Structure 1
Amino acid sequence: MKLGILAHSFGQLPVHELAKQVNTHGFSYIQLALAKAIHGIDTRLGALSPGLGHHIGEAFDREGVRIAVLGCYFNPLHPDENVRRYGIDRFKEHLRFARDFGTRIVATETGSLDADYLFHPDNRNETSYQSVRTVLEELAEEAERWGTFVGIEVAATHVIHSPERMERLLADVPSSNIGIVLDPVNLLDAANIAGQDDVIEDAFRRLGSRIVLVHAKDAQRTAGGEVSHVAAGQGELNYALLGEKLRACKPHVDVVLESILPEETAAAADYVRRMLGGNR
């Protein structure tokens, strides 16, 4: 089973050195957040071009590594309007040039009214939902123009906090250029982790056909009952169920390791391959 990783798991490095690191650790593809992963190249808004995309894409290709997705995470509800607008415009620029990097997917989350992405009680209200809907409509229009995909990740502390709410958003923004980045751990919190099987089943029932990427990490309950994120194989996520659902619903979907240190990659990769591999 081929497996990917967040490129910045190895730190911020010159592109050729980063590509070698990914290859050396045995990964076939990456999620690439340009500003987090690549040292020495300006990737701010306005800097991207077909030539830059080809330069970076070819560096990874020479090492046998594919860019599966560009990560361009920003907060669509950031309280500072200028910060929010910059994030939207930068994401749209990534959508325009994604294919030059060798991918068609640009990923983000749905954000929080808290500037630091922490939970805010008003994330759950209708006004916040409609604000995210408006941003997604703008991003989807750009994706449709360039034949790329907006990859949306659901997270329990964010505005789109459940499979049910994501299903509603997909219905309200009926674009074929929106896909789901499924991270089962991000769906879990102290209130539902004991019933995680039902959460996973619900996610696949509502969103399975729209999944374009899967994140692989693990969930571990703290002494206080909260959920912390750890490397795959170190927690209690039901990977057997996840593997069963993926084999039935999305064979060969790209799976990217996250929440991981370089020294943890071998054990985590082995665990995920064993648990998700099956007949994929």
Structure 2
Amino acid sequence: MKLGVFTVLFSQKPFEEALDYIASKGLGAVEIGTGAYPGDAHCKPDELLADSGKLNAFKKAVESRGLIISALSCHGNPLHPQKAIAKEAQDILTKTIELAQRLEVPVVNTFSGCPGDHEDAKYPNWPVAPWPNDFQEILAWQWENKVIPYWTEVGKFASDRGVKIGLELHGGFSVHTPATLLRLREAAGEVIGANLDPSHMWWQGIDPVQAIHILGRAGAIHHFHAKDTSIDPINVNKHGVTDMQSYTLMLDRAWQFRTVGYGHDMKTWADIISALRLVGYDYVVSIEHEDGLMSVDEGFTKAVQNLQQVLIREPLGEMWWV
């Protein structure tokens, strides 16, 4: 396994300065945003696709520092009911897949998106209860008319270019649990897999280790994010896990994102890394920092220090004791 980072953390730094800083921390990989929610501070797909010189310089900047690009990421909502919003997300996803092919990056990360509840809707509708039955009808309409058709088409586009799609299982989107990921994968093909982020499992009440087993046995983990979550035992009883308060209201929220080791102990993270190895995932563990109690540099540095303790790097050898 390699330790990496989602470079959106360092969007204020020039690209090569950010790469120097990341390499100085002993990391081996970078995940780079290409647009939509992560922004494109370090990677402009239009420019790189149009100019082979810029493309080669971009690739050399990464490789010369002993790094690989683990994924290109363009998290957006390509199924948004407002056509202009959906088209923007769809266009950047298409360009990102094409850029990943040119850069020989194996994975593009994004969200599944979430449609509205009918063709003329203006806003996404995320059903989270089976009753009243209206919600079941909305869910069926979304999957049959939007989710499966769109990702079947995009999956083929990506597969034809040797690129896998890593969908982040995130609340508010149609694919947000291991079951919904596997449902889409069954319909759209094995090109669809998870960009599995344990922080989003914890707040939904899902054990990330079990999520790894469920998805890993199906070969459905394409990429992995390292981010923690803390659950406030008092506030969660008041607001529930679907707490809609702003992330800035940290004292009152039911849960909040933390840097690795500050939501769950290192034994839990060792179990996560071991589960990844057990199911055959031997790719990149990409740090994502969204901790409201720590600066970017401190949160990132502590995540690196904590993960260095538990990361399994060396290839498996023979079991000499067997």
TM-score (normalizing by structure 2): 0.74
What is the Cα deviation at residue 112 of structure 1? 3.4
The alpha-carbon distance between structure 1 residues 217 and 171, as it changes in their structure 2 partners (threshold 3 A), is: same
Partner of 1:271: 306
User: Among residues 202, 206, 215, which one is paired with 1:188 in the alignment?
Assistant: 202
Contact 1:112 1:120 in 2 (8 A): no
Could you tell me how far apart the structure 2 residues matched to 1:49 and 1:135 are?
Answer: 27
The alpha-carbon distance between structure 1 residues 277 and 206, as it changes in their structure 2 partners (threshold 3 A), is: closer
Contact 1:144 1:177 in 2 (8 A): yes
User: Among residues 73, 89, 95, which one is paired with 2:75 in the alignment?
Assistant: 73
Structure 1, unaligned stretches of length 5 or more? none
The alpha-carbon distance between structure 1 residues 55 and 110, as it changes in their structure 2 partners (threshold 3 A), is: same
Contact 1:129 1:160 in 2 (8 A): no
Partner of 2:156: 141
Q: Does 1:216 align with 2:226?
A: yes
Structure 2, unaligned stretches of length 5 or more? 117-121, 129-134, 237-253, 291-295, 316-322
What is the Cα deviation at residue 132 of structure 1? 1.9
User: Alignment partner of 1:228: what SS?
Assistant: strand
Could you tell me how far apart the structure 2 residues matched to 1:245 and 1:163 are?
Answer: 15
User: Among residues 12, 36, 55, which one is paired with 1:53 in the alignment?
Assistant: 55
The alpha-carbon distance between structure 1 residues 63 and 206, as it changes in their structure 2 partners (threshold 3 A), is: closer
User: Alignment partner of 1:250: what SS?
Assistant: coil
Q: Which moved more, 1:252-261 or 1:117-126?
A: 117-126
User: Among residues 99, 104, 107, which one is paired with 2:109 in the alignment?
Assistant: 107
User: Alignment partner of 1:219: what SS?
Assistant: strand
Structure holding more helix per residue: 1
Contact 1:143 1:150 in 2 (8 A): yes
Alignment of 1:183-262 (within 5 A): 183-189=197-203, 192=205, 196-197=206-207, 200-208=209-217, 209-222=219-232, 223-225=234-236, 226-236=254-264, 238-260=268-290, 261-262=296-297
User: Alignment partner of 1:31: what SS?
Assistant: strand
Contact 1:34 1:70 in 2 (8 A): yes
What one-letter code is carried by the residue in structure 1 that aligns with 2:55?
G
What is the Cα deviation at residue 21 of structure 1? 2.1
Q: Which moved more, 1:269-278 or 1:15-24?
A: 269-278
TM-score (normalizing by structure 1): 0.85
Alignment of 1:125-140 (within 5 A): 125-130=139-144, 131-140=146-155
Contact 1:231 1:264 in 2 (8 A): yes
Identity %: 21
User: Alignment partner of 1:125: what SS?
Assistant: helix
Could you tell me how far apart the structure 2 residues matched to 1:50 and 1:147 are?
Answer: 21
What is the Cα deviation at residue 188 of structure 1? 2.9
Partner of 2:249: none
What one-letter code is carried by the residue in structure 2 that aligns with 1:62?
S
**Deviation string for 1:152-189 (max 9, x for gaps)?**
12123321121112111111112x32232111221232
What one-letter code is carried by the residue in structure 2 that aligns with 1:200?
V
Q: Which moved more, 1:199-208 or 1:90-99?
A: 199-208
Could you tell me how far apart the structure 2 residues matched to 1:24 and 1:119 are?
Answer: 42
Larger Rg: 2
Could you tell me how far apart the structure 2 residues matched to 1:252 and 1:47 are?
Answer: 29
User: Alignment partner of 2:229: what SS?
Assistant: strand
Q: Which moved more, 1:246-255 or 1:2-11?
A: 246-255
Q: Does 1:38 align with 2:11?
A: no
Could you tell me how far apart the structure 1 residues matched to 2:9 and 2:3 are?
Answer: 14
The alpha-carbon distance between structure 1 residues 42 and 210, as it changes in their structure 2 partners (threshold 3 A), is: closer
Could you tell me how far apart the structure 1 residues matched to 2:215 and 2:101 are?
Answer: 28
| Cα RMSD (Å) | 2.8
Contact 2:111 2:169 in 1 (8 A): yes
Partner of 2:172: 157
Q: Does 1:29 align with 2:16?
A: no
Question: How many residue pairs are counted as aligned between the two chains?
Answer: 272
